[in-house]
């Protein structure tokens, strides 16, 4: 039996993150609960990675192994969306081959970090963006962010947790732009991300921006932080509620072997 | 002592509407509670109008009469925003003249109604926009909406409540546009609005769009609904959570006599 691949959007506000935990609401837990209802036997799903409590997803990907063929499988997405809480939706589902794995097959991820950049906090962005009252110098932030591009050791930006073999990652997109009015968006794309790496990078960039003098000096400081390979040397982190897992990409050859339900 | 005018933004999701009610969270109640703390005596505020439970505001206006001059009045906005729940923010405050009245002086209001127009519901717009799965014909809706413009009797679009002297209102802006991706926005501006008038208008327009044939026939049907002056003849209403009170305008001469705190 092949696997089923799901594309998911969720508002992370009311969840204790992605990962299943006994006694608290998590995204994985909610999905497994509903899938178990649909298939009438316990289902476990595997996500492309965890998201922290409060972090949102526009395009999280997960897979599971269906224990049996259910009738009218083409209605699985409709059934899931009818049963899931309104804070989670399934955007699409595919039959995926045996060798597809939402975590191990992922070749690239994109995250967004949103900032409400205005002297007055915004109730409409309260759980959706970090509030930064002072005007951000986007030109400076973009200049700094170039220092993140490339294949680098991100050890200094890793929050300790499950040990990983290598802390080297390739980042090929990293920029800041004004989305609309006072909403600033940081976008980063890479072949993988360490624990809280995006939040640690944004925290460090915002710290350097806040204490900015000559841009050159700060480029040097960022290099110094990379070179230290020590989380203690990196600056502060930022809140989880500004972060969105935007997209997870898989090899095209693998995508081609998936077919929509 | 002059009045103080406040410009407010709020996320209406967790409130039972604007109007103070014993035992439940309301926007007016939360503001009065915090102002009473600040002034150490009971404060009552007057809004430019009520908003329904779940309805949001980008630019609600309210006023109150300060019982005394407080020290460092220029810090009132900061103090209010520090004490208010994160779902309400004060964007600005002014000293307003005695003859300013947030409700009676208002000359024009603008409302937005947002729709998530996609086959799959959006968790990120769950409490912020109405979900309409089928693609909307905006050209048709804009054609229909022209029939709302002008000085008209909106009695058919009034939900019964406090009696009003006249049900005639002047609407000078009424249109639909795609804001970004799948978000559709209806904008309406008028010299005043009856109870649930925007929700009843949007409900009727969406009903006519859903059952559209020739546009001409439906323009006739809209005229018929106006002519009936009967709420029973109008079509359905729409949910409160897509509605935003966007702006309240006052005569320029009055604005000029207000000064920022």
Decide if A10 and B81 are in contact by the 8 Å CB cutoff.
Answer: no
Query: B11, B52, B99, B137: which one is catalytic?
Result: B52
B20-54 as b/e: b if 16+ CB within 10 A: beeeeebbbbbbbebbeeeeeeebebbbbbbbbbb
Q: What is the pLDDT of residues B232-259, one digit of tens each?
A: 888 789 999 999 999 999 999 999 999 9
Q: Which residues of chain B have pLDDT under 70?
A: 1, 71, 214-217
Record the pTM.
0.94
For residue B215 the two structure tokens come to 């546009």
Measured between beta carbons, the chain B residues lying within 8 angstroms of A123 are 9-11, 86-89
Helix or strand or coil: residue A188?
Answer: strand
Q: Round to the nearest angstrom and report the end-to-end CA distance of chain B.
A: 14
Q: Which of B123, B133, B178, B260 is the mutation pick for testing A, counting most A CBs within 10 A?
A: B123
Decide if B9 and A123 are in contact by the 8 Å CB cutoff.
Answer: yes
Size of interface A-B (CB pairs under 8 A): 51
Q: What is the pLDDT of residues B135-172, one digit of tens each?
A: 999 999 999 999 999 999 999 999 987 788 999 999 99
For residue B97 the two structure tokens come to 């003249």
Q: What is the pLDDT of residues A126-178, one digit of tens each?
A: 999 999 999 999 999 999 999 999 999 999 999 987 788 899 999 999 999 99
B14 is catalytic: no
One-letter-per-residue 3-state SS of A20-39? CCCCCCCHHHHHHHHHHHHH
Which of B11, B90, B122 lies nearest to residue A124, judging by beta carbons? B11
Residue keyed to tokens 């799903």: A45
What Å distances lie between residue B200 and A22, B175, B206, B231, CA to CA? 45, 15, 10, 9
């Amino acid at each position: 039996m092949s696997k089923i691949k799901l594309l998911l959007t969720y508002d992370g506000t009311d969840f204790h993150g992605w990962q299943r935990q006994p006694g608290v609401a998590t995204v994985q837990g909610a999905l497994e609960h509903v899938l178990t209802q649909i298939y009438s036997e316990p289902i476990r799903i595997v996500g492309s990675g965890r998201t922290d409590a409060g972090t949102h997803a526009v395009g999280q990907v997960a897979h599971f192994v269906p224990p049996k063929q259910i009738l009218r499988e083409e209605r699985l997405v409709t059934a899931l969306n009818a049963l899931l809480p309104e804070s989670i939706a399934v955007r699409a589902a595919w039959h995926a081959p045996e060798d597809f794995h939402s975590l191990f097959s992922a070749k690239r991820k994109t995250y967004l970090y949103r900032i409400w950049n205005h002297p007055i906090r915004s109730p409409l962005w309260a759980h959706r963006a970090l509030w930064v009252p002072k005007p951000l110098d986007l030109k400076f932030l973009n200049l700094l962010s170039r220092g993140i591009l490339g294949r680098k050791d991100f050890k200094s930006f890793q929050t300790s947790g499950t040990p990983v073999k290598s802390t080297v990652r390739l980042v090929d997109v990293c920029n800041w732009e004004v989305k609309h009015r006072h909403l600033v968006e940081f976008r980063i794309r890479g072949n993988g991300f360490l624990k809280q790496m995006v939040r640690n990078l944004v925290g460090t960039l915002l710290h350097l921006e806040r204490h900015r003098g000559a841009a050159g000096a700060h480029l040097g400081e960022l290099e110094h932080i990379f070179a230290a390979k020590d989380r203690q040397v990196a600056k502060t982190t930022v809140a989880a509620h500004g972060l969105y897992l935007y997209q997870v990409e898989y090899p095209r050859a693998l995508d081609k072997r998936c077919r929509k339900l």
